[in-house]
């Protein structure tokens, strides 16, 4: 390494390495900043909807996250929080579907408890089961009566 040419090559290699390292760090920083900027370009409901569309969350989680966003933002998981302002009319409109007993009772017990707590929904799903059982009993009773009436008609027509 005594020759000036070898020292020059070493110097060029070191400077080139630092240059390439600087480019790599710049690209990584730009990529991270761009990802964060892209995330922040969307409002909270859009972030939630995009996760649902990518099958990262279920519809139940989507509705629960909308409820958190409206009523208790600190409970909303960080990936769905946005600094972009938004209006809650559409989210509230979607959450109004939870007033339908079929929709509400199809949710998990945890989600139902959270919706009741956040949205003050006063509904129990046990009544829905009894209503279905009563309707089933009524249908069986009507069918039994119809069959008995048909049997009596057949008996009378045969005599």
Tell me the per-residue pLDDT of 48-98, one tens digit each, with 9 for 90 and over.
Answer: 999 999 999 999 999 999 999 999 999 999 999 998 888 888 888 889 989
Token match 């070191």: residue?
14
CA distance 20 to 83: 35
Which residues neighbour 79 within 8 Å (Cβ) at sequence distance 6 or greater?
A: 47, 51
Residues 50, 106: one domain? yes
Beta strands in 46-149 (DSSP E): none
Range of the domain at 74: 44-123
Residues 109, 136: one domain? no
3-state secondary structure of 84: coil
Q: Which residue has the higher pLDDT, 29 or 120?
A: 120
Residues 96, 114: one domain? yes
**Domain count within the chain:** 3
Residues 49, 119: one domain? yes
Residues 73, 99: one domain? yes
What pTM, to 2 d.p., does this model score? 0.56
Q: Classify residue 155 by burial, with Cβ atoms within 10 Å: 0-12, 13-18, 19+.
A: exposed
Residues 18, 67: one domain? no
């Amino acid at each position: 390494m005594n020759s000036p040419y070898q020292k020059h090559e070493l110097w060029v290699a070191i400077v080139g390495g630092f240059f390439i390292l600087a480019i790599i760090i710049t690209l990584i920083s730009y990529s991270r900043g761009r990802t964060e900027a892209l995330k922040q370009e969307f409002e909270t409901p859009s972030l939630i909807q995009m996760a649902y569309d990518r099958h990262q969350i279920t519809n139940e989680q989507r509705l629960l996250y909308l409820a958190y966003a409206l009523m208790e933002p600190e409970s909303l998981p960080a990936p769905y929080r946005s600094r972009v302002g938004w209006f809650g009319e559409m989210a509230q409109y979607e959450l109004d579907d939870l007033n339908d007993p079929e929709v509400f009772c199809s949710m998990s017990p945890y989600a139902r408890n959270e919706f009741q707590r956040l949205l003050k929904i006063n509904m129990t799903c046990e009544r829905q089961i009894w209503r279905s059982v009563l309707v089933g009993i009524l249908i069986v009773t009507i069918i039994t009566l119809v069959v008995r009436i048909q049997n009596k008609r057949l008996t009378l027509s045969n005599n």
